[in-house]
């Protein structure tokens, strides 16, 4: 039996995995991937079957934990945002070498247009050089169906499978047909090729040859995939390759029926057979893909001088930002100006009085008090520099605080402040949140401890992972012990509540930390206003009962 449900792309994939015999889900929160693990955490089946669903400290630990579950023959997923895959790149690329035993899906949610990210990297490139196949759903139903299919593909070829999502699919709801009966979980069993899991050079060299051969085979299978297809059209003056969401935008632009032949791509390596047929049968080929020109580069190469391939690199498709139905329509118009259905539209003019409304730190947020105190102290010094990090407190860059000078990647506040101090910068201040600290700040702090670097590290602890909506933070209740354990001198480790009434005291300990010629750490703590409200209403509800 099937039930229709209204699901986000993230949720559809999560439910597909649950119904596909999932035993463990691993993740670190990151927009737009967070809802995958959240959905699994709240699903009744998770409780019933004791499916693993605890947050991991970062994406690297998450991938390794999932790989360990796969080693034992069970089905696992691990989900992250695209930049999280950078953190997890080491185990991810090497998981191509070990291969998988139980079905393993590595879900990377890309964020073209950078709705909530610092770059537009395209995860398909990672999968390509790791020689790991990719599934790229074009809608929520495919996201659901691909989970089970992906587990089977993974087990059939003993290889992890990447599922590539993009923001517009992750965070868009649609009606999805779901199974009522979940598959049973796999029983614990060990890999058929146990040597392959020990990546010593002699074994890896041997394995690498098989991996290359397997990747070729996977490419052949792509042309037979239920998610890739050749849809013929009557006008062969152009053919179109449309991957993932681009397929939907193409269908929108041409009213559900395209006059040109189209190869829909949702499984990689590229279906060469289908694409060759398109190139043979059509005069030109337009490539429509969400993200960077991954497919186009492969079709074009360096030596293509046919002038028959159009896409992002040749300028017909927008090079940055996410695709939209309007961008796809314009691309079609640029290549084929004489087609009526893609003629430019004449929309209403934008309003001239509307002003931008950037996001801001919540009223009553402890990060505000940290920045007020820090700014007041730093006004006493010449040329202070503040190295920021990834989280709500990155908003401290904006007015009225204008408080940070850098924001690069998870954990970079501490290490960049250290590097700046090495260069002679003083004051050099790092500001990092609690969850980001345990994600990637601890190892950098150890570097600073070992050299007693002349920096002030402020850990602005709001007891949660705030920006992504308030997930458990792995360091809650342990930050002082972690800092001391790493070797921070207790005489220069302070804790304070980030409250307006403590403004002067915060200023005093920040100043003391800056003036001390070595490493100081201040943990300024106040629960996130959003999670505090949630906890208060849950408490009130419990009291009512």
Partner 1 sequence: MKHDIVLAGVGGQGILSIATILGAAALKEGLHLKQAEVHGMSQRGGDVQSNLRLSSEAIASDLIPLGGADLIVSLEPMEALRYLPYLSKEGWIVTNTTPFINIDNYPDMADIEAELAAQGRVIAFDMDALAKEVASARSSNMVLLGAASPMIEIASEKIEDGIRNVFGAKGEKIVEANIAAYRAGREYAEKIIKEKKQTV
Specify the residue, 185 or 289, whose C-beta has the smaller distance to partner 1.
289
Q: How far is CA 288 from CA 143, 316, 323, in A?
A: 20, 10, 9
Alpha-carbon dihedral angle through residues 500, 503, 509, 515, given to the nearest 10 degrees:
140
Stretch of residues binding partner 1 (CB under 8 A), selected from 4-12, 64-72, 438-446, 517-525: 4-12
From 215, 218, 272, 220, select the one nearest 241 (Cα to Cα).
272
Specify the residue, 292 or 394, whose C-beta has the smaller distance to partner 1.
394
By CB under 8 A, residue 249 contacts partner 1: yes
By CB under 8 A, residue 229 contacts partner 1: no
Cα–Cα distance for residue pair 81/292, rounded to 1 Å:
16
Question: According to CB under 8 A, which residues from 359 to 398 bind partner 1?
Answer: 359-362, 392, 395
Cα–Cα distance for residue pair 124/465, rounded to 1 Å:
27
Number of residues located near partner 1, criterion CB under 8 A = 49
Cα–Cα distance for residue pair 241/237, rounded to 1 Å:
14
Stretch of residues binding partner 1 (CB under 8 A), selected from 120-128, 145-153, 335-343, 345-353: 345-353
By CB under 8 A, residue 538 contacts partner 1: no
Choosing from 192, 302, 303, 354, the residue that interacts with partner 1 (CB under 8 A) is 354
Least separation in angstroms between CB 459 and partner 1: 21
Specify the residue, 301 or 356, whose C-beta has the smaller distance to partner 1.
356
| Dihedral sign, Cα of residue 1, residue 43, residue 127, residue 322 | positive
Cα–Cα distance for residue pair 24/51, rounded to 1 Å:
5
Crossing angle of helices 140-157 and 9-19, rounded to 10° = 40
Stretch of residues binding partner 1 (CB under 8 A), selected from 29-37, 97-105, 274-282, 508-516: 29-37
By CB under 8 A, residue 44 contacts partner 1: no
By CB under 8 A, residue 469 contacts partner 1: yes
Choosing from 179, 221, 252, 447, the residue that interacts with partner 1 (CB under 8 A) is 252
By CB under 8 A, residue 326 contacts partner 1: yes
Choosing from 202, 349, 423, 543, the residue that interacts with partner 1 (CB under 8 A) is 349
Specify the residue, 121 or 415, whose C-beta has the smaller distance to partner 1.
121
Angle, alpha carbons 476-482-487 (nearest 5°): 160
Please provide the distance, in angstroms rounded to a whole number, between the alpha carbons at the two ends of the chain.
37
Least separation in angstroms between CB 477 and partner 1: 26
Question: According to CB under 8 A, which residues from 104 to 123 bind partner 1?
Answer: 115-116
Specify the residue, 307 or 350, whose C-beta has the smaller distance to partner 1.
350
DSSP-derived secondary structure letter, 406: B
Least separation in angstroms between CB 288 and partner 1: 13
- Other C-beta atoms within 10 Å of 34: how many? 25
By CB under 8 A, residue 79 contacts partner 1: no
Least separation in angstroms between CB 252 and partner 1: 4
Stretch of residues binding partner 1 (CB under 8 A), selected from 14-22, 249-257, 406-414, 473-481: 249-257
By CB under 8 A, residue 468 contacts partner 1: yes
By CB under 8 A, residue 535 contacts partner 1: no
Question: According to CB under 8 A, which residues from 475 to 514 bind partner 1?
Answer: none
Q: Which helix (H) or strand (E) holds 275?
A: helix 272-281
**Three-class secondary structure of residue 505 per DSSP:** helix
**Three-class secondary structure of residue 276 per DSSP:** helix
Cα–Cα distance for residue pair 150/169, rounded to 1 Å:
18
Choosing from 301, 307, 350, 424, the residue that interacts with partner 1 (CB under 8 A) is 350
By CB under 8 A, residue 3 contacts partner 1: no
Burial per residue of 250-286, b for 16 or more beta-carbon CB atoms within 10 angstroms, e otherwise: bbebbeeebebbbbbbbbbbbbebbbebbbeebebbb
DSSP string computed for 96-133 = HHH--SS-EEEEEEE-TT-SSSS----THHHHHHHT--
Least separation in angstroms between CB 460 and partner 1: 15
Least separation in angstroms between CB 406 and partner 1: 17
Cα–Cα distance for residue pair 458/387, rounded to 1 Å:
10
Least separation in angstroms between CB 286 and partner 1: 17
Question: According to CB under 8 A, which residues from 126 to 185 bind partner 1?
Answer: 168-169, 171-175
Cα–Cα distance for residue pair 317/299, rounded to 1 Å:
15
Choosing from 6, 188, 212, 538, the residue that interacts with partner 1 (CB under 8 A) is 6
Choosing from 467, 488, 493, 523, the residue that interacts with partner 1 (CB under 8 A) is 467
DSSP string computed for 14-74 = HHHHHHTTEEEEEE---TTTHHHHHHHHH-HHHHHHT-B-PPPSSHHHHHHHHHHHHHTT-
Cα–Cα distance for residue pair 104/241, rounded to 1 Å:
28
Least separation in angstroms between CB 36 and partner 1: 12
Specify the residue, 183 or 362, whose C-beta has the smaller distance to partner 1.
362
Least separation in angstroms between CB 522 and partner 1: 24
Contact residues for partner 1, defined by CB under 8 A:
4, 6, 8, 31-32, 34-35, 115-116, 168-169, 171-175, 245, 248-249, 251-253, 256, 324-326, 329, 345-351, 353-362, 392, 395, 467-469
């Amino acid at each position: 039996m099937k039930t229709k449900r209204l699901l986000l792309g993230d949720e559809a994939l999560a439910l597909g995995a649950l119904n596909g015999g999932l035993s463990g889900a691993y993740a670190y929160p990151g927009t737009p991937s967070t809802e995958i693990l959240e959905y699994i955490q709240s699903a009744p089946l998770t409780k019933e079957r004791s499916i693993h669903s605890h947050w991991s400290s970062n994406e690297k630990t998450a991938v390794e934990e999932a790989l360990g579950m796969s080693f034992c023959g069970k089905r696992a997923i691990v989900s992250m945002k695209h930049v999280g895959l950078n953190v997890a790149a080491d185990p991810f690329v090497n998981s191509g070498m070990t291969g998988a035993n139980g079905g393993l899906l590595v879900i990377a949610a890309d964020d073209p247009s950078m709705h909530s990210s610092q770059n537009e990297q395209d995860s398909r490139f990672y999968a390509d050089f790791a020689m790991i196949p990719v599934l790229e759903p074009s809608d929520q139903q495919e996201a659901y169906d691909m989970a089970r299919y992906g587990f089977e593909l993974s087990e059939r070829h003993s290889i992890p499978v990447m599922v590539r999502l993009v923001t517009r699919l992750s965070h868009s709801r649609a009606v999805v047909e779901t199974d009522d009966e979940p598959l049973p979980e796999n029983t614990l069993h060990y890999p058929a090729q146990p040597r392959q899991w020990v990546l010593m050079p002699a074994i890896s060299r041997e394995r690498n040859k098989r991996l290359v051969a397997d990747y070729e085979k996977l490419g052949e299978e792509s042309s037979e995939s239920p998610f890739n297809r050749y849809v013929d059209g009557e006008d062969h003056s152009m053919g179109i390759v449309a991957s993932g969401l681009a397929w939907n935008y193409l269908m929108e632009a041409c009213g559900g029926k395209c006059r040109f032949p189209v190869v829909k791509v949702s499984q990689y390596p590229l279906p060469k057979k289908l694409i060759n047929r398109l190139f043979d049968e059509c005069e030109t080929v337009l490539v429509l893909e969400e993200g960077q020109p991954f497919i186009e580069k492969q079709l074009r190469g360096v030596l293509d001088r046919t002038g028959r391939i159009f896409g992002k690199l040749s300028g017909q498709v927008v090079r940055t930002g996410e695709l939209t139905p309007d961008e796809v329509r314009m691309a079609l118009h640029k290549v084929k100006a004489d087609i009526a259905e893609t003629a430019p539209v004449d929309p209403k003019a934008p309003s001239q009085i509307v002003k931008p409304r950037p996001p801001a730190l919540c009223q009553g947020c402890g990060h505000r008090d940290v920045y007020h105190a820090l700014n007041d102290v730093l006004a006493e010094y010449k040329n202070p520099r503040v190295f920021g990090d990834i989280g709500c407190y990155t908003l401290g860059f904006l007015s009225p605080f204008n408080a940070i000078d850098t924001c690069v990647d998870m954990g970079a506040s501490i290490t960049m402040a250290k590097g700046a101090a090495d260069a002679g910068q003083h004051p050099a201040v790092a500001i990092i949140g609690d969850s980001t600290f345990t994600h990637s700040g601890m190892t950098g702090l150890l570097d600073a401890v070992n050299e007693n670097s002349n920096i002030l590290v402020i850990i602005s602890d709001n007891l949660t992972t705030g920006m992504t909506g308030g997930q458990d933070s792995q360091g809650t209740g342990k930050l002082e012990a972690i800092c001391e354990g790493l070797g921070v001198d207790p005489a220069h480790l302070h804790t304070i509540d980030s409250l307006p009434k403590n403004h002067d005291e915060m200023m005093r300990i920040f100043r003391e930390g800056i003036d001390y010629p070595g490493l100081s750490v201040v943990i300024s703590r106040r629960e996130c206003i959003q999670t505090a409200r949630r906890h208060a209403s849950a408490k009130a509800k419990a009291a009512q009962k």
